[in-house]
Amino acid sequence: MTKEILSLPFRHWPLKVLALFIGVALWYGIAVEDQVDTVLTVPLELRNLPASMIIANQYQKEVDVSVRGPKRLLQELRQQQLSRPVNLASARPGPRLVENTPDSFSFPRGVTVQRVQPANVLLVVDQLVERHIRLQARTTGQPARGFTLEELQLKPDVITVSGPFSLIGKVQSIDTATIDVEGLTQSGTVQVPLVLNGPLRKLIGEPMVEARILIREPVKRRTVQHIPITLRPAGKGRAVLPQTVSVDADIPVSVIKDTPDLDTLFHASVNAAEADQHGQVPIRVEAVSLPGRASINIHTILPKTARLSKEQTAPPEEDPRQPQP
């Protein structure tokens, strides 16, 4: 029995020697002959940053890690989504230095970290705020002689911005690029960019806003007569007295020059449903709207009311074919 036990290690010894040789060869091939150096680019992964905080600075978002290890393992690492996790759960407003050491990376056994660049990354943590910032239009020049810049409307006139308190906390307004109104004679709309400094441009981008330029052209007071009155709803058997109305109105000078018959600039009407028991009905006058021109402003209407009456009908004509008595 004792002899059999002592002989166990020597049984099938050729196979055991072969297995040992193969194991040593594999270890030598992987651990010794297959060692290579390479550089892995690993992105920083910021984790658990509080919702009320934001990173306010431009920081190095990737680190270069010089490693040594078996070629096969390094090839597999390149196929994986590597990251350098940074836990910011306890972050407070202010600078925070992230140190990159070999222990910051979890690589498989056999891969060693030789160097990390950069060794430190500075993060500036700030409070995240939301601001409603008013936009202001800047202009240069003057409209043509006799014309005035009545108003300049921006759309939108307020923008909402979210970002670091240190960047937008004290911003009260943002200017537009300069809008040239030199020599203008009519209103119009243009697209203009905002004037932003470098950090704000990175935060907001380069938005465009719509600027509506309202130019008031010179007007003259005119009395316009003989504006026909229209009965609504139209129907036979009723007439409007008087049949025309006069108005005093401020009319743009250019419109006066271009319109021989000024009464065509107005529409007068009465609504039969508004007549009182005596047939009196108010007269309504509206001025036409001309694109690109200032509006016509009506001051007075004369008369202010009209009277509805039965329409006078002519006696029937005699039929010439009827015999005369």
Q: What is the CATH number of the domain that holds 141?
A: 2.170.120.40
CB-facing half-sphere around the CA of 278: CA atoms within 13 A: 5
Residue 217 — pLDDT band, cuts 50, 70, 90? Answer: confident
Shared domain check, 113 and 94 = yes
Residue 320 located in a structural domain: no
Q: What is the pLDDT of residue 73?
A: 87
Average pLDDT estimate for 202-224: 91
Mean per-residue pLDDT for 91-116? 92
Residues 6+ apart with CB under 8 A from 90: none
CATH no. for residue 235? 2.170.120.30
What residues pair up with 160 in beta bridges, in sequence order?
132
Residues 148 and 212 in one domain: yes
Query: Do the domain assignments include residue 230?
Result: yes
Residues 38 and 122 in one domain: yes
Residue 248 has pLDDT above 90, yes or no: yes
Q: Please tell me the predicted confidence (pLDDT) of residue 314.
A: 42
Instruction: Indicate whether 62 and 79 sit together in one domain.
Output: yes
Strand (E) positions, 141-256?
148-155, 158-164, 173-180, 188-193, 208-216, 219-232, 238-241, 244-252
Residues 209 and 264 occupy one common structural domain: no
Identify the helix (H) or strand (E) that includes residue 7: helix 2-7
- Average of per-residue pLDDT values in the chain: 86
Mean pLDDT of 70-86: 89
Same domain, 231 and 287: yes
Q: Which of 127, 145, 174 is the last residue of a domain?
A: 127
Q: Which range marks the domain in which residue 282 is found?
A: 219-310
Same-domain status, 123 and 152 = no
In a domain, 108, yes or no: yes
Position 172 scores a pLDDT of 92
227 and 206: one domain? no
This prediction has a pTM of 0.56
Contact by Cβ (8 Å): 91, 143: no
Confidence of residue 233 (pLDDT cuts 50, 70, 90): confident
Residue at which a domain ends, from 127, 145, 164: 127
pLDDT reported for residue 311: 62
Residue 74 binned pLDDT confidence (cut-offs 50, 70, 90):
confident
Counting the structural domains of the chain, the total is: 3
Task: Please identify, among 83, 106, 127, the residue that sits at the C-terminal boundary of a domain.
Answer: 127
Q: In this structure, what token pair is assigned to residue 212?
A: 């509506």
One domain, residues 133 and 212: yes
User: For 264-318, what is each residue's pLDDT tens digit?
Assistant: 999 999 999 898 988 899 999 999 998 867 789 999 999 999 998 876 544 444 5
Is 18 contained in some domain?
no
With respect to residue 6, please indicate whether it lies within any of the assigned structural domains: no
Burial of 161 (0-12, 13-18, 19+ CB in 10 A): middle
User: 5-19, 68-82, 188-202, 247-261 — which is least confidently predicted?
Assistant: 5-19
Residues 143 and 182 in one domain: yes
Same domain, 121 and 133: no
Sign of CA dihedral 244, 249, 253, 255: negative
Q: What is the pLDDT of residue 239?
A: 87
Give the confidence band of 147 by pLDDT, cuts at 50, 70, 90.
Answer: confident
